[in-house]
Structure 1
Amino acid sequence: MDYLIGEYECKLDAKGRMVVPAGLKRQLPDVEREGLVVNRGFEKNLVVYTRGEWNKILDQLSRLSQFQKKGREFVRKFTSGATELMLDSAGRVLLPKSLLEYAEVGSELVLACNLRKIEVWSKSEYDRQMVELATEDFSDLAEQVMGGFDLEGGLNG
């Protein structure tokens, strides 16, 4: 799968359904057949994966030792709440109420593509975070995170 791109503002209807934006749907050619998986993010957000990407993560998690408490706890916490999403005939997905409450998502949300996953944020929280990322802060972050890499993604040196 290619990397996903774009940022989409969406609205939830009264039942918690969201229309998958056409620009995003074009990037997910198998979504109607395979569906998606939504789960809690590490921040107050949700993360949507294609079924294939979710299975890759589960393959990684299956290699953690089930004999170590931290491994069991992480798998349990990471996978709790994971829900399969299927598009209905109108191109909508139903986001689970418990996950929407976790992410404090109201009727307005932002879908922000992040490599091979889609982050779901309440619009107000997403806007707040973008304001906090002042130009100088982003420049400093870029230097700290990417400063040692060449254009091909390897370390300079």
Structure 2
Amino acid sequence: MFRGVHAINMDAKGRMAMPTKYRDGLKNSDDGQLIATIDIQTRCLLIYPLSVWEDIEQKLQKLPSLNASTRRLQRLMLGYASELELDGNGRVLLPAALREYAGLEKKVVLVGQGGKFELWNDEQWAAETAQAIEDANSGDLDVPDDIQNLVF
């Protein structure tokens, strides 16, 4: 289970260190194998353990490819999917195309989302969270009915 917001520095080659608390779990469950792809709704990356991604990939491939919207989704999510591997220092190398898509530079933010991570440019993350908080405070945040019934 991935949770929390982690500020990380990425080096000039596009390598970033995974937070220490996740390294052993990722190495034990998936031999340090990850998949990164683009988020088609926002300019960030989605990073999955390989085993989680394989389930998603199978579901995407089973969708009817004659539907134009489905085909576009498959093209983007599967097409940009890139294999990552934790090195001996707990780092992953992010491909240039993915870094460019998400506007990733030196300062990035890794956000735990349960079974996956989101990886953001730090300035875009700050803007996204500020907008979400503003929307929530103004009543403009569209909260689905099933979430409104949760007790916190």
Where on the TM-score scale, by shorter chain, does this alignment land: which range?
0.7 to 0.9
Shift of residue 8 of structure 1? 0.6
Residues 33 and 136 (structure 1 numbering): CA distance in 2 closer, same or farther, change over 3 Å?
Answer: closer
1: distance between equivalents of 2:133 and 2:76?
Answer: 33
In structure 1, the residue matched to 2:93 is 94
2: distance between equivalents of 1:143 and 1:78?
Answer: 25
1: distance between equivalents of 2:85 and 2:29?
Answer: 8
Shift of residue 48 of structure 1? 0.1
Instruction: Note the residue ranges of structure 2 that are not aligned, 5 or more in a row.
Output: none
1: distance between equivalents of 2:108 and 2:142?
Answer: 30
Deviations 1:20-48 (A, max 9, x none): 11123255353661500000112100010
CA contact (8 A) 2:30 2:51 kept: no
TM-score (norm 1): 0.82
2: distance between equivalents of 1:135 and 1:27?
Answer: 35
Amino acid at match of 2:76: K
Q: Which moved more, 1:132-141 or 1:58-67?
A: 132-141
Q: Which moved more, 1:62-71 or 1:16-25?
A: 62-71
CA contact (8 A) 2:135 2:141 kept: no
Amino acid at match of 1:91: G
Aligned-partner SS, 1:80 = helix
In structure 1, the residue matched to 2:38 is 40
2: distance between equivalents of 1:104 and 1:52?
Answer: 27
2: distance between equivalents of 1:28 and 1:139?
Answer: 39
Q: How does 1:1-157 map to 2 (within 5 A)?
A: 3-30=1-28, 33-42=31-40, 43-134=42-133, 137=136, 140=139, 144-145=143-144, 146-147=147-148, 149-151=149-151
Higher helix share: 2
Aligned-partner SS, 1:30 = helix
Amino acid at match of 1:85: L
CA contact (8 A) 1:7 1:111 kept: yes
Computed over aligned residues only, the root mean square deviation of the Cα atoms, in angstroms, reads: 2.3
Aligned-partner SS, 1:48 = strand
Aligned length: 148
Deviations 1:76-99 (A, max 9, x none): 122112110011111110011111
